[in-house]
Chain A
Amino acid sequence: MTEEIIIAGFGGQGVLSMGKILAYSGIMQEQEVSWMPSYGPEMRGGTANVTVILSDNKVSSPVLHSYDTAIILNQQSLDKFEPNVKPGGLLIYDPNGITRHPEREDIRVFVVEAASEAAKMASAITFNMIVLGAYIKVNPVVELENVIKGLKNSLPERHHHLIPANEKAIQRGMEIVREAK
Chain B
Amino acid sequence: MGVPRGPQPFPGQEKRLRLLAFVRQDSVVRVDKRVEDTAMVWPHLLVIEFIAAMLWTIGLFAISAAFNAPLQDHSTPDCTPNPSKAPWYLLNLQELLLHMDKGLAGVVVPTLWLVFMAFIPYIDRSREGVGIYFTTPKGRTITIFAAVYATVLTFTLIVLDKVLKDVGYIEFASDHFPGGKQLFPNYLIPIATMLGLSFLLVVIVKRLYGAGTREWMIAIFTGFVSVYLVLTIVGTSMRGTGMNLFLPWDVPSTHQCFEPGPL
Pair from one complex: no
* Residues of A near any B CB (own CB < 8 A): none
